[in-house]
Amino acid sequence: MIVQQLAFILVLATAAFFIRKRVLLIRNTIKLGKERPVTGRKRERLKNMLLIALGQKKMFKKIIPAILHLFIYAGFLVINLEVLEFLVDGILGTHRIFAPWLGSFYTVLMNVFELLAVAVLLACVFFLIRRNVLKVPRFWTAEMTRWPRLDANVILFTEIVLMTAILTMNAADQVLQTRDSHYTATGSLFFSSFLIPLFENLGTTTLLVIERFAWWFHIIGILGFAVYVTYSKHLHIFLAFPNTYFASLEPKGYINNMPVVTNEVKSMLGLGTSETVTGEPGRFGAKDVNDLPWTSLVAAYSCTECGRCTSECPANQTGKKLSPRKIMMDTRDRLEAIGKTIAAGGEGLNDGKTLLNDYISKEEINACTSCNACVEACPVMINPLEIIIELRRYVAMEESRSPAQWNSMFQNMETSFAPWKFSAADRFNWAND
Amino acid sequence: MTVPTLAELTAKGETPEIVFWVGCAGSFDDRAKRVTKAFVKILNATNTKFAVLGNEETCTGDPARRAGNEFLFQMQAISNIQVLNGYGVKKIVTACPHCFNTIKNEYPELGGTYEVIHHATYLQQLINQGKIKLTDTNSFKGKKITYHDSCYLGRANNIYEAPREVLQALDADLVEMKRCRTTGLCCGAGGAQMFKEPEKGNKDINVERAEEALATGAATVAVACPFCMTMLTDGVKSKEKEEVKVKDLAELIAEAQGL
């Protein structure tokens, strides 16, 4: 027994080590972002988090995936209670330590877990079919290259395997309860009982091996999955919460002000500046991830690549290169690349690459109509438009390389105070036409 | 048609109830000018005390900000705010969702805080107050009309119902496109796209939207934005369906009232 306990603690410590390393790395890359004070209106922020992250309100715009997703989500939340028992058992060398304490309620609880395990299993099978057989278009657009597609399938497949392990374990356990006093009575477990015929004719030793194997497989699977999640799009299960909390509360049409510019404009117009800005103004707009507000970086890690944004994007729907999902994926890829070199003591941001041009092209950002369809579509309140605007700001103000027609528009506005080339003196002529 | 300017009223020591912000499209674009005039006729007919800025108005800066030129945006914004604050303007009505969004949401932190109303909402208020009375013999009664949500009115500012209520007041048969309200498809002009050719693709957004509007079988496509007006008019034209008219809410109301 003691060997199992030690092995368990070792496995746990290994997982904790890797998870901690990844969490710190992710945190460090997020900290590269520009300051963006998120202050006040805590009640509204909390409400968004509870309704949209916890309550999944925005998922329900598409009812079928919403229900399937709800199964997996509920399964994840509830079955993790069982993992708690796994942890205590693993460390103390006990078996189903909660069973005697909870009595018949334990039976109810285990049956609920099994129901959810079956629901998760079925939902994952449906999701695999939707992705790979029905080929729902948003899972097959240009940015859904090999890794993003594989990532999704790995997650779904792992969940199926983990749920199968639970059911197998419970079935073997129920047979063992009739043979070995170490196996505490759980009462009848509905779903795994269907598997009992597979096991009841096996010898006790074989059963013990099967039950232990399933137990270990499940807990190592879960810990391994927890490490994997930090590398995967699946990180949304945690980051959806902070992301909905930090998301903008302004009307979607609002674009953030640049106080540095306000000061310069006011002094150009001969108006006193109200605030003094100290220190380097930094870049105007964003060329790389460190020019983006940190909230956009949290958003990039929160994206689960569902593609609802892209399937609603008018530019994408009409064959333009822009895909809001790709904007988020590129931002995260860039962060991951920087994080990797920083972890290796390398150059980090100074690797000769930038988010603009090396990851996101001008053609993409120039195609955006700022219609907010992507922002509206995102189930976890990610805002790709904010990144697009920051990149455009860099191109316009630092490079002066906006599309030629935009430069003409700027010129018209400067000379005749309208985006078109009309004389300012003719503005009121309409009244006399 | 009387169009008083704020300068004239101020000189007479008078204050208007509302300032009508015309916008660049409403001032210079021939098609949009007809909307401007229709709205002025409604204001005149309802005895609304209003004023325009005339030559003192300049672009809000919306396309500059969205194209990334924050300097130019703020130059425009701060200059406009100086003019508006100089007159002590309190309430602004505009027929352009882009001007509406910018003045309402982006001017306050630059020192310009006003009550800003889009004309869809204003028309709805006039109808509710009984100032606009539509007879049941108006030419749109029972006719199929579809409404195209402007992004800057809809998703950007959550105004979905006011324009529809205005159309319902016409007693028209309001038919919705497949993509409407929160999922309404953009006309293709927002985010400064109005001022450049679209990027390479396989279709123009306005054509995609025009097809959807035409599929409803509506005789009239109602809009509430001068950019949507241009884009959808071109889209409908490209489908050679010129019998289908693209009209602004103000034009529909003015026409129904015989103004």
- H, E, C per residue of chain A: CHHHHHHHHHHHHHHHHHHHHHHHHHHHHHCCCECCCCCCCHHHHHHHHHHHHHCCHHHHHCHHHHHHHHHHHHHHHHHHHHHHHHHHHHHHCCCCCHHHHHCHHHHHHHHHHHHHHHHHHHHHHHHHHHHHCCCCHHHCCCCCCHHHHHHHHHHHHHHHHHHHHHHHHHHHHHHHHCCCCCCCCCCCCHHHHCCHHHHCCCCHHHHHHHHHHHHHHHHHHHHHHHHHHHHCHHHHHHHHHHHHHHCCCCCCCCCCCCHHHHHHHHHHCCCCCCCCCCCCCCCCCCCCHHHCEHHHHHHHHHCCCCCHHHHHCHHHHCCCCCCHHHHHHHHHHHHHHHHHHHHCCCCHHHCCCCHHHHHECHHHHHCCCCCCHHHHHCCCCCCHHHHHHHHHHHHHHHHCCCCHHHHHHHHHHHHHCCCCCCCHHHHHHHHHC
Same domain as B146, residue B120: no
- B243 shares its domain with B151: yes
Neighbouring CB atoms inside 10 A of B19's CB total 24
In one-letter notation, the amino acid at residue A44 is E
Statement: residue A80 has pLDDT above 90? no
For residue A279, name the pLDDT band (cuts at 50, 70, 90).
low
**What is the per-residue pLDDT for A177?**
95
- In angstroms and rounded to an integer, the radius of gyration of the C-alpha atoms of chain A is 27
Residue A81 — pLDDT band, cuts 50, 70, 90? confident
Same domain, B140 and B59: no
Smallest Cα distance from A392 to chain B, Å: 5
CB-based contact A261 B71, cutoff 8 Å? yes
Q: Check whether residue B231 and residue B198 sit in a common domain.
A: yes
Instruction: Identify the burial level of B217 via C-beta atoms within 10 angstroms of its C-beta, where 0-12 means exposed, 13-18 middle and 19 or more buried.
Output: exposed
* Chosen domain end from B73, B96, B124: B124
Strand order in the sheet with B18-21: B50-52, B18-21, B91-94, B115-118
Dmax over CA atoms of chain A, in Å, equals 100
Query: Does the pLDDT at position A286 exceed 90?
Result: yes
Contacting A residues, span 330-389, partner chain B, CB-CB under 8 Å:
363, 366-373, 375-377, 389
Q: Is B251 left (phi over 0), alpha (psi -120 to 50) or beta?
A: alpha
The answer to the question of residue B95 being in a domain is yes
Structure-model confidence comparison of residues A280 and A29, the more confident one: A29
Taking an 8 Å cut-off on Cβ atoms, the answer to whether B199 and A320 are in contact is yes
pLDDT digits (tens, 9 = 90+) for A1-42: 789 999 999 999 999 999 999 999 999 999 999 998 888 899
Mean pLDDT on A207-223: 94
What pLDDT does residue A273 have?
63
The pLDDT of residue A281 is 65
Q: What is the mean pLDDT of chain A?
A: 94
Rg, Å, chain B Cα set: 18
Final residue of a structural domain among B67, B89, B124: B124
Sequential DSSP letters for B160-173: -HHHHHHHHHTT-E
Domain identity same for B111 and B163: no
- Please give the tally of structural domains in chain B: 2
CATH code of B27's domain: 3.40.50.1860
Smallest CA–CA distance, residue A133 to chain B, in Å, is 27
A contacts of B24 (beta carbons < 8 Å) = 418-420
Per-residue confidence band for A164, with pLDDT thresholds at 50, 70 and 90: very high
Distance CA B48, CA A156 (A): 63
Measuring CA to CA, which residue among A83, A87, A98, A91 is closest to residue A1? Answer: A91
Q: Which pLDDT value is given to residue A418?
A: 98
Residues counted in chain A: 433
B113 and B166 housed in the same domain:
no
Q: How far apart are CA B176 and CA B146, in angstroms?
A: 6
What is the pLDDT at residue A38? 85
Residues 5-34 of A with CB under 8 A from B: none
Instruction: Say if residue B146 is in the same domain as residue B237.
Output: yes
Closest CA to A124 of A73, A165, A159: A159
Cβ atoms of residues A183 and A148 within 8 Å? no
Residues B224, B93 contacting (CB under 8 angstroms): no
Considering CB atoms only, which of A257, A377, A413 is closest to B59?
A413
B141: number of CA atoms within 13 Å, CB side? 8
CATH code of the domain occupying A251-261+281-416: 1.10.1060
Pairwise CB contact (< 8 Å): A389 & B26: no
d(CA A238, CA A233): 11
Give the whole-angstrom CA distance, residue B223 versus residue B209.
12
* Full residue range of the structural domain in which residue B142 is found: 134-256
B155 and B218 belong to one structural domain: yes
Find the closest chain B residue to A312 by CA distance.
B183
| Chain B residues 44-73 within an 8 A CB cutoff of chain A | 52, 54-55, 57-59, 61, 63-72
Write out the two tokens for A132.
Answer: 């790979």
Task: Decide if B1 is inside a domain.
Answer: no
Looking at the fold, whether B190 and B218 belong to one and the same domain comes out as: yes
Q: Give the minimum alpha-carbon distance from A376 to chain B in angstroms, rounded to a whole number.
A: 7
For residues A294 and A36, the answer to whether their CB atoms sit within 8 Å is: yes
Backbone angles phi, psi at A319, to 5 degrees: 80, 10
CA distance A101 to A313: 54
Across the interface, whether the CB atoms of A431 and B205 are under 8 A apart is answered: no
Candidates A312, A408, A417; nearest CB to B59: A417
pLDDT surpassing 80 at residue A274: no
In a domain, B187, yes or no: yes
Q: Is A427 on the interface with B (CB under 8 A)?
A: yes
pLDDT in the model for residue A178: 93
Asked if A309 has any chain B CB less than 8 Å from its own CB, the reply is no
**CA-to-CA distance for B67 and A403, rounded, in angstroms?**
9
Q: Are A430 and B33 a contacting pair at CB < 8 A?
A: yes
If phi > 0 it is left, if psi is from -120 to 50 it is alpha, else beta; for residue A372 that is: left
**A110 closest CA partner among A186, A3, A208:** A186
**Who among B74, B197, B205 is closest to A314 (CB)?**
B205
Alpha carbon distance B193, B206 (integer Å)? 11
Closest Cα to residue A394, out of A433, A372, A370, A365?
A365
Last residue of a domain, one of B92, B124, B156: B124
Q: Are residues B35 and B69 in the same domain?
A: yes
CA atoms within 13 A on the CB side of B110: 35
Of the pLDDT bands very low, low, confident and very high (cuts 50, 70, 90), residue A109 is very high
Q: What does each of the 259 residues of chain B score in pLDDT, given as a tens digit?
A: 889 999 999 999 999 999 999 999 999 999 999 999 999 999 999 999 999 999 999 999 999 999 999 999 999 999 999 999 999 999 999 999 999 999 999 999 999 999 999 999 999 999 999 999 887 778 898 899 999 999 999 999 999 999 999 999 999 999 999 999 999 999 999 999 999 999 999 999 999 999 999 999 999 999 999 999 999 999 999 999 989 999 999 999 999 998 8
pTM, two decimal places:
0.96
Side-chain-side CA neighbours of B235 within 13 Å: the count stands at: 26
> Could you say which DSSP state residue B104 is in?
I
Give the pLDDT of residue B139.
86
Residues B251 and B193 occupy one common structural domain: yes
Q: Is the Cβ pair A413, B76 closer than 8 Å?
A: yes
User: Which amino acid is residue B142, in one-letter code?
Assistant: G
A320 reaches B (C-beta below 8 A): yes
